[in-house]
Amino acid sequence: AQSVTQLGSHVSVSEGALVLLRCNYSSSVPPYLFWYVQYPNQGLQLLLKYTSAATLVKGINGFEAEFKKSETSFHLTKPSAHMSDAAEYFCAVKSGFNKFYFGSGTKLNVKP
Amino acid sequence: EPEVTQTPSHQVTQMGQEVILRCVPISNHLYFYWYRQILGQKVEFLVSFYNNEISEKSEIFDDQFSVERPDGSNFTLKIRSTKLEDSAMYFCASSEERVADTQYFGPGTRLTVL
């Protein structure tokens, strides 16, 4: 069965610093992987997705993620954090016909 | 820009009562989903729906839950006899295609069971 593990429920960075949010997955087949962002009192918004094309995936708001099969990882990065990046981030993997498993989420705090 | 809408934004109910949560997916989308998020926990998949049938469901989606697309626009989640542990935020999502397509999420309905 597929699953997703996000290391670090809270990450705090300074404005302008590198953002690194970690996601590891388990999957018996080549996975489809996603990163979503959730702002307070809102639904989830897709940041980016991996669909077995390029291993480095670029998303919205300057985020990108690299699929590493050998490490079963799909970490999310952004070179320079903005205050507006403060939110909760979820990694997800697609399973079966149309079922999705989400990680437990990482809350990103950006300090001025 | 088209968006998924959900009503009500907050529903309070007594344990044992039936609730219906409503969603209006994006109009040209074909795949519909319900998720729930218990406070402070991860987002959990409940069910996916396509062509007027359930295509996938999770272990959470037991006989107390049902989904329906009663007309061309609404997509509903019914909980027949609510329990305290059903208290959560429920999100509806829709996508145009199935394979790794972008799911668009609604703002959620917060269900509180007393």
Backbone φ and ψ for A91, nearest 5 degrees, come out as -95, 145
Q: Model confidence over A42-89: pLDDT tens digits?
A: 888 999 999 877 889 999 999 999 999 899 999 999 999 999 999 999
Q: Give the nearest chain A residue to B91 (CA atoms).
A: A43
Do residues A25 and A72 touch, judged by C-beta distance below 8 A?
Answer: yes
CA dist., res. B76 & res. B85, Å (int): 20
Give the span between the Cα atoms of B114 and B3, in whole angstroms: 31
B99 to chain A, closest Cα gap in Å? 8
pLDDT for A31 beyond 90:
no
Per-residue DSSP letters for B49-72? EETTEEEEE-TT--TTEEEE--SS
Q: What's A29's DSSP letter? A: S
Whether the pLDDT of residue A98 is over 80: the answer is no
The per-residue pLDDT for B103 is 86
Q: What share of chain B is helix, strand, coil (3-state, %, to 5)?
A: 5, 50, 45
- Residue A25: other Cβ atoms inside 10 A: 20
Contact criterion met (CB below 8 Å) for A2 and A19: no
Q: Which residues of B touch A (CB under 8 A)?
A: 4, 31, 33, 35, 41-45, 48, 50, 55-56, 58, 91, 93, 98-100, 102-108
pLDDT score, position A1: 66
Q: State percent of chain A over pLDDT 90.
A: 68
CB A48 within 8 A of CB A35: yes
Q: What is the mean pLDDT of chain A?
A: 91
Which residues of A fall within a CB distance of 8 Å from B48?
Answer: 97-99
Q: Which two tokens stand for residue A35?
A: 């990163």
* Distance (Å) from the alpha carbon of A25 to chain B's nearest alpha carbon: 15
pLDDT in tens, chain B (114 residues): 778 999 999 999 999 999 999 999 998 899 999 999 998 888 899 999 998 999 989 999 999 999 999 887 899 999 999 999 999 999 999 988 766 578 889 999 999 999
Whole-angstrom CA distances from B41 to A22, A99, B17, B62, B107 are 17, 18, 24, 20, 17
Contact A99 B43 (CB under 8 A): no
Specify the higher pLDDT residue, B82 or A30: B82
User: Mutate which of A44, A48, A49, A57 to test chain B, going by most B C-beta atoms within 10 A?
Assistant: A44
Q: Which of B91, B98, B99 sits opposite A44 (nearest CB)?
A: B91
